[in-house]
A and B are shown apart, each in its own frame.
Chain A
Amino acid sequence: SCINMIRFILIQNRAGKTRLAKWYMQFDDDEKQKLIEEVHAVVTVRDAKHTNFVEFRNFKIVYRRYAGLYFCICVDVTDNNLAYLEAIHNFVEVLNEYFHNVCELDLVFNFYKVYTVVDEMFLAGEIRETSQTKVIQQLLMLQNLE
């Protein structure tokens, strides 16, 4: 099929704890758990000399490590690797600004806000908004609503 879209976004720490899982395809709960474990196994064995892309089932994972956190996006094999690699970085910069130097604990305590950030930047398996300025403006506006 020629559908190109994000299948899921995962943020995991080195120990394999999931800090965010956003699914853009229907998976049942067992399958999600399996995917989470497989992705962890696949990315944590790679080092800085490896590429940021790894084949995964019939898809590929574009991932980047920030301190102890792995940000992973699962896309179709023909999709643009570097565009998603930078989409991850763009997302991380937004999180960093929104949470003022984001750390893993921010994602734990504010998990319900992280979903809002994701939905502003990615929706329906596609990139939604790419401007950091626009996203931050919107998030601050929402933050001030009752």
Chain B
Amino acid sequence: MPTVSSRGDAMRGLAVFISDIRNCKSKEAESKRINKELANIRSKFKGDKTLDGYSKKKYVCKLLFIFLLGHDIDFGHMEAVNLLSSNKYTEKQIGYLFISVLVSSNSDLMKLIIQNIKNDISSPKPVHVNLALHCIANIGSVEMSEAFGQEVPKLLVSAHASASVKQSAALCLLRLIRTLPEAMTYAEWASRVIHLLNDQHMWLTAATSLIHTLSQLSPGDYKGCVSLAVSRLSRIVTSTYTDLQDYTYYFVPAPWLSVKLLRLLQCYPVPEEPAVRGRLVECLETILNKCQEPPKSKKVQHSNSKNAVLFEAINLIIHIDSEPNLLVRACNQLGQFLQHRETNLRYLALESMCLLAGSEFSADAVKKHRETVINALKTERDVSVRQRAVDLLYAMCDKTNSEEIVAEMLAYLKKADYAIREEMVLKVAILSEKYASDYTWYVDTILKLIRVAGDYVSEEVWHRVIQIVINRDDAQGYAAKTVFENLQAPACHENMVKVGGYILGEFGNLIAGDERSSPLVQFNLLHSKFHLCTPSTRALLLSTYIKFINLFPEIKPTIQNVLQNNNQLRNADVELQQRALEYSQLSSITSQDVLATVLEEMPPFPERESSILAKLKKKKPASVQVSLVGCFMCKDHATMSVLLNHIPVWVSLTPYLSPTFASVQVNYYIISTNASSNYTIVLFQQCLYMDAFDDVLTLPADLGESPSTESTEHANRPFMFKNSGVLFENALIQVGVKCEFKEQYGRVGLFFGNKTGNQLQNFAAAVSLGPEHQGKINVATQKEPPSQIDGGAQVQHFINLECISMFSGSPNLQLRYQHSSAPQQVTLKLPVIINKFMEGVDMNSGDFFSRWKQLGQPTQETQKIFQARHPIDTEAARTKLTGFGMCALTNVDPNPENLVGSGIIKTKTSQIGCLLRLEPNKQAKMYRLTVRSSVGEAAALICSMLEEHF
């Protein structure tokens, strides 16, 4: 046991207890010892004798130790709070420590704690003030922000407070601001806080952190800090290590403060005043110069702290991005680090260079290090360093070096760590697409990717190669030939079969002239893989086969045999069974002309952001700096949109149908009876591959008469039972919605996706409350929606709502935007319906019927008797009722066929209880629906909302 200090804070009993615990041979022994101690402490706290401060401190400290061992502590909180009012520092300290570690912010004791903190914060003893400030900072709750948001700044700028108190006050304030930014008034303190940077004491690291955050929150008020920060930085970098004494760390003057100042300066654009700017550039040059000087110490602490400043300076140089000389010097310095023996430095140099690669001034200087970086990929032992090398290669890739870089990445992929393979695959796919000068290289690269790392090739990647091949006439013949060759390998990855199946189904005819790849050879090759594949791939191959029937009528009987084989027709997989059946029917009952039209070559895909890039962005939002939009122009998607826009019957069904093949068939028949055959053909063709491309082909839902004004009066009915989905979609825009409701509050997240390649301009989305909703719903938006949406982009917009009192219907959302200078306007119903504010209430039979009787007044009941619209099914009805927001009660109604439910509508002004009873009459296929509520209108409303859903 180490010697326990003999000063006033020693607690021998605690040291003994800790020793005992350490000497326990087993978990059981430890628990036993702890329980004994807990019993002892409990009896001391409960005893008649008032404990002295020392004992209280000791026991509270023991409780804390027990808690830190991982045991629950359910007493002692009050004693800890009592310690706060002690006059002795050591007792106070233990009290505050216990509270900071153990008391949750919603504790009942919080009022008492806050009172104690208030006393200490105004104490004349700086050590007590600091304990209080540290406690506020450690707890950092909203309550703390509200209680001390005004007090703490006063200490910070007080003339009397010591540097130590100011340090604590600065960071305490920072914590309160992060907790509750709106509780602070920023402008008021700005000038005095900024001028802390002039303070002659060197306690400024804390103050600079505070100013940094304030500058991010309120840049205008704090922009005066720029020139002061530059002066301060200048004084530090030009000082010698002896000048700053206490703040020199291994011969480096104030490294942490320098880093903080350099980060602060990255909040603002480069200073405009020439003097300030000149001084800043000098500082940065000095920092770069110092790296060339011989080191003052061989200790790693010296070089680390020097380089901490250097890397931050380079970040600032990149941020300024207008000093070519500094950028190139930074790059050269990092180039030296690339070969340094310290792994840390090599790692950081790769990371930092990645940013330099994005600047036009340093991009070329970065590219000079290509060899070294490729070498790092091959030799580094730490996977995270190799990862940075991959990132840097990706960032420095351009037309001139893309073939080499892609080749090196492909070579590395074979032995790359599993953790980074998927990301590498995405990167290779993006680079090969972006820099493809000819499409043979692109196709080769992607197929090689599938060969080398097939398991890591995500759907996005193989979908993308198909999209590109379909959109590029010049790539199709080569693609067909190459996939055919690849498929000949004895073991080929399933993704290769998918790509091969798709491409040959579309373009197999382009290579069918060669007898080595005749139609039958192609078919046999694909079909030889069929049995080894998963059902989804087999389903895709069946689509290829029906396409083959059209492309190669001479092998129709062979294919029909396969389709009509019992392996397919009686397959356990419904999808396969249905496809086989329908394709075989389609091929036998239709004429060759119809078949040719239905199975025509796929039209080009609409131009959009690469789905691969989107995926990479999702994985690594910060590292993607390459944009692909516009790389591949689509030939003809306008025509397709026009065609699709004229199919109202089908489209009106879309909200109810999932885009699987099975549902397509349903639509096919509906359309045959309702619309002209032309439309049928287009649709059928679109749907053929929809299972594989459901994210690509989202059909427009333009329901309106006039092309520019649309509305969705009835379209949000499904939202009565669900909280998310596609609210609206046409050829230009998709509006997704995701809502959350809790008590009377609602939060509606809207996602506006621009489906076109062009920017949607003058975009506006506003909730409009009609007279029927005024005063019943409060609406607040956190932020204005953006005024434009870039082509292919999706933006979010959040709306907060509060239900004040009962309402019917839903508020409107007005969308306005401009596409190709044509103004568009859409009125949507937000899925905010009164039942969203309902919470189910579980109760037993007795309670239910006694309440039911209480609500027996004629005005409190609405009853409807109606024809069942859906087959009578108690389970389905129960699910609907639950989705509606009520609790479906079991064992309440003596008749099990009847359904009873209860719920409370929570509004700001009232809570409305609702009870429901649904009685089916199976013979007559009728329902009787009875709703009772304390508010008669609510009963009527719920009854009318629900009647058409059973």
The chain A residues found within 8 Å of chain B, CB to CB, are: 2-5, 18, 46, 49-55, 77-78, 80-83, 85-87, 89-90, 99, 103, 105-106, 108-113, 115-116, 119, 123-134, 138, 141-146
Is B308 a contact of A82 with CB atoms below 8 Å? yes
**Alpha-carbon separation in the docked complex, A3 to B254 (Å):** 23
Inter-chain contacts of A138 with B (CB < 8 A): 164
**Alpha-carbon separation in the docked complex, A103 to B256 (Å):** 27
Inter-chain contacts of B68 with A (CB < 8 A): 18, 111
Is A128 a contact of B167 with CB atoms below 8 Å? yes
Is B246 a contact of A131 with CB atoms below 8 Å? yes
* A37 vs chain B, min Cβ distance (A): 12
Q: Chain B CB within 10 Å — which of A51, A78, A115, A143 has the most? A: A51
Given contacts A83-B256, A108-B18, contact A124 B384 (CB under 8 A): no
Inter-chain contacts of A111 with B (CB < 8 A): 65, 68
Inter-chain contacts of B205 with A (CB < 8 A): 126-130
- Judged by a CB distance under 8 angstroms, whether B822 is at the interface is no
The stretch of B272-280, B340-348, B545-553, B648-656 that contacts the partner chain: B340-348
- Judged by a CB distance under 8 angstroms, whether B22 is at the interface is yes
**Alpha-carbon separation in the docked complex, A27 to B89 (Å):** 29
Is B7 a contact of A143 with CB atoms below 8 Å? yes
19 contacts between A and B (CB under 8 A): A49-B382, A50-B381, A51-B382, A51-B385, A82-B308, A83-B259, A85-B304, A86-B249, A105-B2, A106-B2, A112-B94, A123-B167, A124-B137, A126-B209, A127-B205, A129-B205, A130-B247, A134-B246, A145-B8
Is B247 a contact of A145 with CB atoms below 8 Å? no
**Alpha-carbon separation in the docked complex, A115 to B98 (Å):** 11
**Alpha-carbon separation in the docked complex, A6 to B15 (Å):** 31
Known: A80-B259, A83-B259. 18 other contacts (CB 8 A): A46-B382, A80-B311, A82-B311, A82-B344, A83-B256, A85-B304, A86-B256, A89-B301, A90-B249, A99-B2, A123-B167, A123-B168, A123-B206, A124-B172, A129-B164, A145-B8, A146-B88, A146-B90
Is B246 a contact of A86 with CB atoms below 8 Å? no
Given contacts A111-B65, A126-B171, A128-B205, contact A3 B178 (CB under 8 A): yes
Is B308 a contact of A86 with CB atoms below 8 Å? yes
**Alpha-carbon separation in the docked complex, A44 to B566 (Å):** 57
Task: Identify the 6 closest CB pairs spanning chains A and B, nearest first.
Answer: A82-B308, A124-B175, A145-B89, A131-B246, A124-B171, A83-B308
Is A105 a contact of B1 with CB atoms below 8 Å? yes
- Judged by a CB distance under 8 angstroms, whether B410 is at the interface is no
**Alpha-carbon separation in the docked complex, A143 to B22 (Å):** 26
Q: How large is the interface on B (under 10, 10 to 19, 20 to 34, 35 or more residues)?
A: 35 or more
- Judged by a CB distance under 8 angstroms, whether B329 is at the interface is no
Is B137 a contact of A123 with CB atoms below 8 Å? yes
Mark interface residues in B287-319 (1 if CB within 8 Å of A CB, else 0).
Answer: 000000000000001001101100110000000
* A146 vs chain B, min Cβ distance (A): 5
Name B204's closest neighbour in chain A (CB-CB). A130
Name B259's closest neighbour in chain A (CB-CB). A83
A142 in complex: contacting residue of B89, B138, B311, B347, CB < 8 Å: B89
Inter-chain contacts of A113 with B (CB < 8 A): 9
Name A81's closest neighbour in chain B (CB-CB). B348
Given contacts A80-B259, A124-B172, contact A109 B2 (CB under 8 A): yes
A54 in complex: contacting residue of B7, B134, B254, B384, CB < 8 Å: B384
**Alpha-carbon separation in the docked complex, A144 to B167 (Å):** 22
B127 in complex: contacting residue of A86, A109, A133, A145, CB < 8 Å: A145
B263 in complex: contacting residue of A4, A116, A134, A142, CB < 8 Å: A4
- Judged by a CB distance under 8 angstroms, whether B61 is at the interface is yes
Mark interface residues in B870-895 (1 if CB within 8 Å of A CB, else 0).
Answer: 00000000000000000000000000
**Alpha-carbon separation in the docked complex, A95 to B64 (Å):** 21
- Which applies to chain B's interface (DSSP): helix, strand, loop or mixed? helix
A81 in complex: contacting residue of B127, B134, B247, B344, CB < 8 Å: B344
Name A20's closest neighbour in chain B (CB-CB). B68
The chain B residues found within 8 Å of chain A, CB to CB, are: 1-2, 4-5, 7-9, 15, 18, 22, 61, 64-65, 68, 88-90, 93-94, 97, 101, 127, 134, 137-138, 140, 164, 167-168, 171-172, 174-175, 178, 202-203, 205-206, 209, 213, 216, 245-247, 249, 254-257, 259-260, 263, 301, 304-305, 307-308, 311-312, 343-344, 347-348, 381-382, 384-385, 622
A82 in complex: contacting residue of B246, B305, B384, CB < 8 Å: B305
Is B343 a contact of A49 with CB atoms below 8 Å? yes
**Alpha-carbon separation in the docked complex, A93 to B93 (Å):** 23
Given contacts A3-B178, A83-B255, A108-B18, contact A127 B209 (CB under 8 A): yes
* B375 vs chain A, min Cβ distance (A): 17
**Alpha-carbon separation in the docked complex, A89 to B164 (Å):** 22
Name B303's closest neighbour in chain A (CB-CB). A82
**Alpha-carbon separation in the docked complex, A12 to B255 (Å):** 27
**Alpha-carbon separation in the docked complex, A105 to B23 (Å):** 13
* B126 vs chain A, min Cβ distance (A): 10
Inter-chain contacts of B8 with A (CB < 8 A): 144-146
Inter-chain contacts of B384 with A (CB < 8 A): 50-51, 53-55
* A10 vs chain B, min Cβ distance (A): 13
Name B388's closest neighbour in chain A (CB-CB). A51
Inter-chain contacts of A87 with B (CB < 8 A): 256
Is A109 a contact of B97 with CB atoms below 8 Å? no
Inter-chain contacts of A85 with B (CB < 8 A): 304, 308, 344
Q: Chain A CB within 10 Å — which of B9, B202, B343, B381 has the most? A: B9
* B752 vs chain A, min Cβ distance (A): 22
Is B171 a contact of A143 with CB atoms below 8 Å? no
**Alpha-carbon separation in the docked complex, A103 to B89 (Å):** 26
**Alpha-carbon separation in the docked complex, A50 to B387 (Å):** 13
* A1 vs chain B, min Cβ distance (A): 10
Q: Chain B CB within 10 Å — which of A113, A126, A131, A132 has the most? A: A126
Is A128 a contact of B256 with CB atoms below 8 Å? no
Name B8's closest neighbour in chain A (CB-CB). A146
Is B256 a contact of A127 with CB atoms below 8 Å? yes
* A96 vs chain B, min Cβ distance (A): 13
Inter-chain contacts of A80 with B (CB < 8 A): 259, 263, 308, 311-312
